[in-house]
Amino acid sequence: LHYPLRRQRQMCIRDRLQGVQYCESPNYSDRPDDTQPWLLVIHNISLPPGEYGGHWILDLFSNCLNPCEHPYFREIADLKVSAHALIRRDGAIVQFVPFDKKAWHAGLSSYAGISACNDFSIGIELEGCDSDPFTDAQYLALVELTRCLFSHYPTLSAEHIAGHSEIAPGRKTDPGPCFDWDRYKGAVK
């Protein structure tokens, strides 16, 4: 399938997207000297688990998740994590970290024999969970965002896209079995 860019969004710029919500996370740092991102990592997230909508993902990535709002939040409220961007169920994109910075999304990880994937990757979260299919709007936005990133970072390519489960096997399962890799990769090649 071919996914045309949605011209009305005009999102493509180098490190910070235009036309999307920006919610700056404090959970990032500089990349190592002379390191450009060359890996794209796809994740899923829902807070509370299996529930969509709300402000809790933004709160988690902003270090202001209230542990009293849900029992699960007591387990994760002190985490210092982020992603470069989140794609909501309706395809809306929220950016948290400029793409030239290192978002704290991958944790203990390795790709192609190289550890510390945060150093050389861009992390994209899809609002979802392992057991639910992702929406058409999410695939459209993910393809658009991926093409945008490819156009501004020649070090990124379709050959170096991985799921969190691939870079942290045994520890992570996302984006999960419901993510349609063929649909996505076929659209960005």
Enclosing H/E stretch for 124: strand 121-127
Q: Is the distance from CB of 169 to CB of 117 less than 8 angstroms?
A: no
Element (H, E) at 143: helix 136-152
3-state secondary structure of 27: coil
Q: Which residue among 24, 125, 159, 166 is the active-site one?
A: 125
- Whether residue 122 contacts residue 148, with contact meaning beta carbons closer than 8 Å, is answered with no
Annotated active-site residue 125? The verdict is yes
Q: How are beta strands 85-87 and 161-163 bridged, if at all?
A: unpaired
Enumerate the active-site residues. Answer: 125
